[in-house]
Structure 1
Amino acid sequence: MEERRTNRMMKIGIGNDHAAVDMKNEVVEFLKEKGYEVVNFGTDKKESSNYPEYGRKVAEAVAAGEVDLGILICGTGVGISLAANKVKGIRAVVCSEPYSAKLSRQHNNTNVLAFGARVIGIELAKMIIEEWLNAEFMGGRHQDRIDMITEIENENE
């Protein structure tokens, strides 16, 4: 179980559109079994919905510190991550394999993970999530690059 410096359970916000209801439900159960607290910002309906709404909700919760990290799922993971990345302070990454998820945390200190329910299966999703959650930001030269990204973000407010 992952814990924050405050010695409390890590809280993960999850968001999804209609294409990812089933996968979201399985991911929620997986996270709860691992001891994470999960806040559902996604839809539970399979009727067409708009992924930007859910990407934004999770990203705003992460940026505000209401949750520690976010996980987003839509058909491909791309659209929902684009919406999340429009929120200041969010570094969302789309991953379809575990190695990029791990390095995104180690090098880019990503705070939102996205993937596609139409792209990967649940077992691969679990592996991606595990690698992402277990990785730690390495700091150093990587922090310098994060600072550069933040500078670009601030210049374009």
Structure 2
Amino acid sequence: MAAERVLQSQEFAALYAEVQRFYAHQMRILDAHDAERWAGTFTEDAVFELPSLSGPLRARAGLARYVRAGEARQRRVGNRLHHWIGMLDVRPQADGSLHTRCSALVYVTPRGGSSRVLYVCVMEDVLVRIRGRWRTAHRRVTRDDLA
């Protein structure tokens, strides 16, 4: 029984590291404004809920448009955004999906200025494995500064 728990613990540790790598990759390409690659880390029919939008973004095309619009806004004002993910909780589900919850910090760096935290968020995802790779099927982001 103890050996089985160790194996399960090792399997979970490997899964946890895999999910951390997924988020590191996803946030790097988001920060690089690589809209199509970032949208490709979601399922075709993904739903993305952000408190700053009037309704959820749907499907990869909507996600890519959102990233391109964000890049244009940041370029106009001369800012760079960076995302940091931490305090990750990963909960495997019976259907093979993962429910994750983490803290997400969004930093802004104005041209010639110092970085500061812009938003403190909680990000809750449903991840599914498609052709051996994790994809986000549903993301819900809440912000501490919004009710």
Same fold (TM over 0.5): no
Give the structure-1-normalised TM-score.
0.23
TM-score normalised to structure 2 length: 0.25
Larger strand fraction of residues: 2
